[in-house]
Amino acid sequence: MEDKIYEAIGVWARPFTWFTSHPADEKRFHEAITNIYEQIGPDVSEEDFRNALKRHRSENTEGLGGKPNDEMLEKHVQRAMDVIAYLKNQGEHLKE
């Protein structure tokens, strides 16, 4: 599953600014989470997501904002898991 997540988040994590709060990065983040939800579903492993994001981080060159540290990476892992949980919860409510 990690490889699927890696591909699904590429729209957001490939640009070297993925970890900033720039509106373009935020838009790509939400697009990436939508990709995950549509392509993989709601049962995304936090560990697989973290490993996929770490792979992108290791492949990125350092840019204007520097390179994200582990704390920044973990912040985005948690954000992604929160959004996926929200989407899952909303999907369950729609089924009722």
Domain boundaries, the chain: 2-95
What does the pLDDT read at residue 30? 94
**3 state DSSP class of 38:** helix
Cα atoms found within 13 Å of the Cα of residue 91, Cβ hemisphere only: 12
Cβ pair 7, 52 in contact under 8 A: no
Alpha carbon distances (Å) from 45 to 7, 63, 66, 77: 15, 29, 28, 11
Q: Give 10-residue mean pLDDT values along the chain (96 residues).
A: 94 89 94 93 94 90 70 95 92 62
Q: What does the pLDDT read at residue 68?
A: 80
